[in-house]
Amino acid sequence: MKNYIQKHPWKVIEQGFHKDENKITESLCSIGNGKMGMRGNFEESYSGESLQGSYYAGIYYPDKTKVGWWKNGYPEYFAKVLNGCNWSGLKIMIGDCELDLNKAEIKSFTRELDMMNGLLSRNCIITLPNGAEVEITSQRFCSMHQDEIAALEYSFTVNNFKGKIFIDSYLDFDIENEDSNYDEKFWNESKVLNEEEIIYNQAVTKKTGFELGLAAKSVCKKDSAEIQASNIVIATKYISTQYELEIQSGTNFQINKFIGVSSSFYHQHGELKANAIKLAKEASSTGYDLLKSNHEHCWQDKWNISDIEIDGDVGAQQGIRFNIFHLNQTYTGQDARLNIGPKGFTGEKYGGSTYWDTEAYCLPFYLSTANQKVAKNLLIYRHNHLNKAIENASKLGFKDGAALYPMVTINGEECHNEWEITFEEIHRNGAIAYAIFDYIRYTGDDKYLAEHGLDVLIAIARFWAQRVNYSEAKKKYVILGVTGPNEYENNVNNNWYTNYIAVWCLKYCIDALKHVKADDANRFKEILSNNQFDEKETENWNEIIKHIHLPKSEELGIYLQQDNFLDKDQSPVSELRGEDLPLNQKWSWDRILRSVYIKQADVLQGLYFFEEDFSHAEIKRNFEYYEPRTVHESSLSPCVHVILACLIGMEDKAYEMYLRTSRLDLDDYNNDTEDGLHITSMAGTWMSIVKGFGGMRIKENKLYFNPSLPKNWEKLSFRINFRDSLVNIKITSTEISLKNESNNNLQISIVDQSINLNPNEIKVYNL
Ligand code: BGC
């Protein structure tokens, strides 16, 4: 755990350069706008530890699978989001010394991410080995207003030096993914040119043929007077505008770089160059300040709906804003072809692909803080991949339209390649069905079933019906050889969570069939025929529902994570030595698999999803059994624990888990923030507050709150977007106030009271 980031309600501040943590700070200071993003790297060259990373939505490379031993059914490739053109780069030579913080004496340094306005800035004063003192200020952003534009302003004053300096303002495509399986570069050069003082660099991905073109217009001023470029430098996959000057001590330079980005994911191949150049030109004539204020306004609009205020705990406040900020810049929901990679635009791990994280953790955030269309696009994404999911299942031997959605995907094809996950972590199918339920419960848009939802539910139900088998010994249906959400056990039989969600999917699909049949008979017929579905299929489903095996210990009063869970040594985590943790970095894999230690919520994940099926006493017993055996080595774990702990009145545990989820990256809890941020778990942090401390649920088509604030919080405030209405909620330890900020009447429940809120009305209730 680290503690060097300063606590501030709106900012992430690194005061003094923490060289050893540079990759962590680069991850923390990432910026983006849903279409592109980049890590918080320095603009000038840096020879120390760094992951230079710029990522562009939708562009990936199918890197040939690398495994120790090939198994039939493995995907051919692991899709990777590509590290692409570095547009922020500046190479600066002062005399014979390159400006490089790794080789300079640093006199003062501040790197700052302004989350309110989406700006990354830096101020520092350094001395180079040749004695020149350089004072740098920089700022940049990826525009939220025009998402194919980015801009930077870099200013430096050179003291104690007289002589020649060079500034190279470049676009570099000679980039390699850090996680490339065969140390291969994924980009081929396609066009590098210079047109009317604008440099343009376009490259094409190997195999997939995606083209990406960036144009840059640099404007350089010396002591406030604009100067002309002296040269255009062209090298392999590289182009720069170069300025070469003789200077006196005390000279100041300011460089603005205006970037236009154009990719074949959004534009016709032949149009990229013209589009990118036009954007860069327009951006430079708009000017940095206006571009920036347009960008800031967009952020204000986002914060107006999605901000959460916590009074009395600056660490918790910074934590939640940090999470909301990164969620908003990762996914804006305008394009159903995009999704939310676990690292967003902040790193390469997990390939930038889609996991069950989206449905299980991210959907509620976008449902409550954005237009309904945003969450719907996440569902449509999976509907668009349905045929691929059916193909995936058929590769594994399933038939008749059964679908197994991939564990990891970028285009619908499975690309995870560890057998215990690819073939066995099948519970992901359940989360995809659950998201349809969750979306409809929240929005009331039950037409979605007839539109797209039912197709997906039928295919998923068919998968479960084929994946179970009847055990003569148990006289029950069983699901053998699976990995549950807890990846620290593989190939187990009857993972409770998987079995529970499997039959839930069957039941939900039966309900959905009935609903669409009653609501829209013609469309129903069409769906049956498109899916070659005979309603008789549900007879078998009903048998499975009735006779599913759900492992349980009557003695302990808990659901068993899997049939043999109690055979394990049950010592809790508190009996481990500090040096054993994190297990995934300290223990051999076989030792982990045999142990009782749980990576992330598993039985508890099911109790969270299906809370209404269980009594609080049951939830408490399971929580008290499993939490002490959970190491939370998945970032997705603590948030579920917060929500359940609040429900069963374990306030201290809830708060402990909240800090762990909300400051996971800021404090580098799991020692892995340098790889990128845990974007999908950030949505879990949001849920911890709204569903945990706010106790928000949807009950009978209404918003419901049952709050319980941590002791040290004076006030918690947030807004919820619910069915075209915006509600402003303020909670203290003694009261909850609700303001209807919309033009509709709203029915809301608070604990056991039902209230009506007229437009603009405020009501306050004692807790
Ligand atoms: C978790 C999975 C998750 C993945 C991506 C893993 O560590 O165990 O549940 O889908 O990370 O976030």
Handedness of CA 483, 489, 492, 494 (dihedral sign): negative
* φ, ψ at 183 (rounded to 5°): 50, 40
Residue range(s) in the chain whose domain bears CATH number 1.50.10.10 = 337-550, 552-689
* φ, ψ at 438 (rounded to 5°): -65, -45
Ligand 1 atom with the shortest distance to the CA of 599: 8
- Count CB atoms within 10 A of the CB of residue 752: 7
Of the CA atoms within 13 Å of residue 325, those in its CB half-sphere come to 29
Q: Whose CA is nearest to atom 1 of ligand 1?
A: 634
Residue range(s) in the chain whose domain bears CATH number 2.70.98.40 = 16-57+86-283
What pLDDT shows up at residue 264?
97
Ligand 1 atom with the shortest distance to the CA of 487: 8
- Annotation marks residue 76 as catalytic: no
**Four-way CATH pick for 337-550: 3.40.605.10, 1.50.10.10, 1.10.10.10, 1.10.3720.10:** 1.50.10.10
Q: Whose CA is nearest to atom 9 of ligand 1?
A: 485
Ligand 1 atom with the shortest distance to the CA of 357: 10
Q: Which long-range contacts does 295-300 make (Cβ < 8 Å, 24+ apart)?
A: 295/117, 295/118, 295/141, 295/143, 295/144, 295/145, 296/117, 296/118, 296/119, 297/145, 298/118, 298/143, 298/144, 298/145, 299/116, 299/117, 299/118, 299/144, 300/116
What pLDDT shows up at residue 73?
86
286 alpha carbon to ligand 1 midpoint, in Å?
43
**Four-way CATH pick for 552-689: 1.10.540.10, 1.50.10.10, 1.10.645.10, 3.20.20.150:** 1.50.10.10
CA distance 140 to 654: 37
Residues 6+ apart with CB under 8 A from 747: 702, 754, 755, 756, 757
553 alpha carbon to ligand 1 midpoint, in Å?
28
CA distance 298 to 624: 44
Catalytic residue from among 487, 489, 674, 741: 487
- Residue segments in the chain with a per-residue pLDDT below the cut of 50: none
Task: Report the b/e string of 313-339 with b at 16+ CB within 10 A.
Answer: bebbbbbbbbbbbbbbbbbbbebbebb
- DSSP string covering 430-444: HHHHHHHHHHHHHH-
Of the CA atoms within 13 Å of residue 742, those in its CB half-sphere come to 16
349 alpha carbon to ligand 1 midpoint, in Å?
11
Residue 753 β-bridge partners:
750
Give the type of residue at 294: N
Residue 76 β-bridge partners:
none
The CATH code for residues 16-57+86-283 is 2.70.98.40
pTM of the predicted model, to two decimals? Answer: 0.96
What pLDDT shows up at residue 305?
96
Q: Whose CA is nearest to atom 8 of ligand 1?
A: 634
CA distance 383 to 623: 35
Let me know: does 103 contact 89? Beta carbons within 8 Å. no
- DSSP string covering 632-658: --STTHHHHHHHHHHHTT-HHHHHHHH
CA distance 15 to 3: 12
Q: What tokens does 626 get? A: 């499993």
Cα separations in angstroms, 723 against 92, 376, 757: 53, 13, 14
What pLDDT shows up at residue 80?
86
634 alpha carbon to ligand 1 midpoint, in Å?
6
Q: Please, what is the end-to-end C-alpha distance for the chain in angstroms?
A: 36
Ligand 1 atom with the shortest distance to the CA of 600: 8
Probe target for ligand 1 pocket from 357, 427, 501, with the most ligand atoms within 8 Å of CB: 357
Let me know: does 372 contact 443? Beta carbons within 8 Å. yes
Could you read off the pLDDT of 365-375 as tens digits, one per residue? 999 999 999 99
159 alpha carbon to ligand 1 midpoint, in Å?
50
> Cis omega before residue 406 (within 30°)?
no
Q: Whose CA is nearest to atom 7 of ligand 1?
A: 634
Q: Whose CA is nearest to atom 6 of ligand 1?
A: 634
What pLDDT shows up at residue 473?
98
What pLDDT shows up at residue 1?
87
Probe target for ligand 1 pocket from 354, 355, 429, with the most ligand atoms within 8 Å of CB: 355
Crossing angle between the packed helical segments 428-443 and 496-519, to the nearest 10 degrees: 40
CA distance 602 to 483: 10
Could you read off the pLDDT of 272-285 as tens digits, one per residue? 999 999 999 999 99
Q: Whose CA is nearest to atom 12 of ligand 1?
A: 342
With a Cβ cut-off of 6 Å, ligand 1 is lined by 342, 350, 355-357, 485, 487, 599-600, 634, 636, 680
Probe target for ligand 1 pocket from 415, 487, 637, 678, with the most ligand atoms within 8 Å of CB: 487
CA distance 694 to 716: 8
